[in-house]
Amino acid sequence: MKNSIYLWRGLMTWALALFVFVSHAQVPEGYYTAAEGKSGIELKSALYNIIKGHVEFPYTSSSTDVWDILKETDRDPNNPDNVIGIYSEFSMNAAQEYNSGQGWNREHVWAKSRGDFGTTLGAGTDVHHLRAADISTNSARNNRTFAECNTQYIDGSGTYQGPTESFTSSTEFVWKPRAAVKGDIARMIFYMATRYEGYNGELDLEIVDYIVDASDKSPLHGRLSELLAWHNEDPVDQLEIQRNDIIYSFQQNRNPYIDHPEYVESIWGSTTTEPAALAFSSTPTSTAVAGELYNYNITTTGGEAALTITATQKPAWLNFTDNTDGTAVLSGTPAETDAGDHLINIEVTDGISIDSQSYTINVSSGSSDGGSMAELFISEYIEGSSYNKAIEVANFTGADVDLTGYTLHKQTNGSGSWSSGLALTGILAHGDVFVVAHSSASADILAQADIATGVSEMTFNGNDAVALFKGGNLLDILGVFNDATTFAQDVTKVRNSSITTPSSNYNSAEWDNYASDTFIYLGSHTIDATAPNELPNINISSPADNAIFTEGTVISITAEATDSDGSISKVVFYEGANILAEDISAPYSYDWNNAAIGSYSLTAVAYDDQNASATSTAVNLSVESAPAELF
């Protein structure tokens, strides 16, 4: 029955599609009447009421389902028996629905984990954001944020493979579709944020202008600024109009941003009407350790012309490089004699306007902090016989670490993107290790395992790079990304005891190699360091958060600071990145008597007797004008 229905509807809809292509189709009369004369949030609300309550089709069924509709909407115009992959443009046999991984599958452009709606009726089966995709490219896209990136995705596995015109990144969790569908993708995301507004038990899907963490299941997708640009760069074309009409014949609702592209600017603004304000889009790293490399990748946005970035103030141990593309790098290794605070000021200009970023780097002594490091790192790798595979992660940060947001990834055979990621869980104590093993590994390995699993991340071979990520960003890597050279086969690799920090660049000299199936080092790790110095504790006790003061009032700032394994040497008070004052003895306080009208964010930084520092939670306050006198 399903095939008969599909054949009949396929013939009818294909005929409709041909008619649409020739006649440019007409939106049903009066369809957008309720939206006329509206703008902004009122327009978005009107569009929701127009497109809500659409006819829903099941994800998989013996009757008409999503597979059937996609065979019509995504049909290859040069081969009616095939469908076209949204990201790869591979032409795929439409009859092979998944087919045990040998066929094609259905891509949720608004990733179904962004709101965790899965494949349920509603957002999970709404064909306005579902597209045909080849399986391995779809897996590589994962739930990545849509944003600009420049590493071409080359599909190296599956039935359909080869170079694509989509792009990804080895350091950020982002994805850029091929140029011909960038605008299509943007308008699908705009549709979803309009159709699903949180009413009648549905999710409230919202677009944000930042990269969403891989593990975040909030109903958020991004990046808005990139999607707006893509909407303008890739206008609506005839194939997109045709697809909208075919979906309407099934679901009885339309994507309004295909019919009326101008609605996008009215609701979300535009990247083309006014140049974006010149600004820094990166957050500086405010701490460094003597003897260890400090690196800050600077990024900027906006401007009307080519950008020039300069460092107008920096210490001599830092080197500055302007990449002449709106990015720059501030990098260097401080010495023990550089311990303390260093003021940094960076400026960017397009020749018309200037923006600046000022902050302070605190350099702590490398010899006195006990060798503690700022992050987790991979401490052991086992690639032995059969399924004897394990990865060990060590914590020498000086504090217990919540593993939420940390993931292990693998690149297969030196090509393609990182895998979707294996999430680590639990709390990892300082000085302890976390072991992930293949579930079919030997008993000696499994005895040390915190996670035993057979997922793809644990099926690595000697030419598969493996990496530790945090919040979707690369921390530590073993192997070289996009290099299929065999580097670690039939070997146990243990990180040198002298290595105490992760690295985004693989260095074989950092590892000691042992014979295949050597397991005696698994489950513990040591570094060349004494017990780490415990950081001080500090909080601002007054004023209270969100306090309001009158102009001319003295604002008394008080902080409480303690150090469990030493003493407090000083407390420095900040307003934003600006130093207000410092106090070397308790009670730590400062009277601020010249605050102008405005809003402020106060923090206090405590330094202990080993020059290690900790920063308080910010306290926000505002200063208002004095009330006028009454006569």
Nearest to 376 by CA among 329, 417, 445, 435: 435
pTM, full prediction: 0.48
Give Cα separations from 163 to 37, 147, 182, 410 (angstroms): 46, 20, 18, 19
Q: Which of 24-28, 152-156, 303-307, 591-595 has the lowest mean pLDDT?
A: 24-28
pLDDT range class, residue 529, cuts 50, 70, 90 = low
Q: For residue 151, give every residue at least 6 positions away whose Cβ sits within 8 Å of its Cβ, in sequence order, or none.
A: 167, 168, 169, 170, 482
For 229-282, how does the pLDDT look when each residue is reduced to its tens digit (9 = 90+)? 999 999 999 999 999 999 999 999 999 999 999 999 999 986 544 456 788 888
pLDDT of residue 556: 95
CA 38/CA 50 separation, integer angstroms: 13
For 549-605, how does the pLDDT look when each residue is reduced to its tens digit (9 = 90+)? 998 899 999 999 999 888 999 999 988 877 888 899 999 999 998 788 888 889 999
605, containing H or E segment: strand 598-608
Nearest to 108 by CA among 119, 98, 97: 119
pLDDT of residue 20: 37
Q: Which of 23-32, 78-87, 545-554, 611-620 has the lowest mean pLDDT?
A: 23-32
CA 591/CA 610 separation, integer angstroms: 28
CA 202/CA 52 separation, integer angstroms: 11
The one-letter amino acid at 513: N
Count the Cβ atoms, other than its own, within 10 Å of residue 341: 16
pLDDT of residue 17: 40
Whether the predicted pLDDT of 627 surpasses 80? no
CA 156/CA 163 separation, integer angstroms: 8
**Buried b or exposed e, range 578-608, using 16+ CB within 10 angstroms:** eebebbeeeebbbebeebeeeebebbbbbbb
More confident residue, 196 or 17: 196
Query: What is the average pLDDT across 616-623?
Result: 90
Query: What is the average pLDDT across 73-84?
Result: 96
Q: Which of helix, strand or coil describes residue 5?
A: helix
CA 278/CA 451 separation, integer angstroms: 46
Q: For residue 7, give every residue at least 6 positions away whose Cβ sits within 8 Å of its Cβ, in sequence order, or none.
A: none
More confident residue, 183 or 601: 183
Query: What is the average pLDDT across 59-87?
Result: 96
The overall average pLDDT reported for the chain is: 88
Give Cα separations from 539 to 557, 599, 611 (angstroms): 11, 20, 18
CA 435/CA 230 separation, integer angstroms: 42
CB of 35 closer than 8 Å to CB of 256:
yes
Whether the predicted pLDDT of 608 surpasses 90? no
Q: Which of helix, strand or coil describes residue 84?
A: strand
- What percentage of the chain reaches a pLDDT higher than 90? 60
Whole-angstrom Cα Rg for the chain: 28
Whether the predicted pLDDT of 2 surpasses 80? no
Query: What is the average pLDDT across 11-19?
Result: 40
Whether the predicted pLDDT of 358 surpasses 50? yes
Nearest to 110 by CA among 282, 272, 255: 255
| Packed helices 238-251 and 66-73: angle between N→C axes, nearest 10 degrees | 150
| Packed helices 40-51 and 182-195: angle between N→C axes, nearest 10 degrees | 80
CA 164/CA 411 separation, integer angstroms: 17
Whether the predicted pLDDT of 19 surpasses 60? no
Task: Name the β-bridge partners of 547.
Answer: 621
Query: What is the average pLDDT across 524-544?
Result: 83
Q: Which of helix, strand or coil describes residue 251?
A: helix
Query: What is the average pLDDT across 360-381?
Result: 70
pLDDT of residue 206: 94
Q: For residue 120, give every residue at least 6 positions away whose Cβ sits within 8 Å of its Cβ, in sequence order, or none.
A: none
For 482-500, how does the pLDDT look when each residue is reduced to its tens digit (9 = 90+)? 888 999 999 999 999 989 8
pLDDT of residue 113: 93
pLDDT of residue 158: 84
CA 631/CA 629 separation, integer angstroms: 7
Q: For residue 257, give every residue at least 6 positions away whose Cβ sits within 8 Å of its Cβ, in sequence order, or none.
A: 187, 190, 191, 194, 231, 263, 264
pLDDT of residue 614: 85
Q: Which of helix, strand or coil describes residue 371?
A: coil
Query: What is the average pLDDT across 302-324?
Result: 87
pLDDT range class, residue 626, cuts 50, 70, 90 = low
Beta-strand pair 422-423/389-394: unpaired
Whether the predicted pLDDT of 325 surpasses 50? yes
Q: What is the DSSP string of 469-534?
A: EETTEEEEEES-TT-----SSSEEEEE-TT--S--SS--GGGEEEE-TT--TTTT----S--SPPP
pLDDT of residue 295: 86
Q: Which of 340-344, 477-481, 520-524, 621-625 has the lowest mean pLDDT?
A: 340-344
pLDDT of residue 368: 36
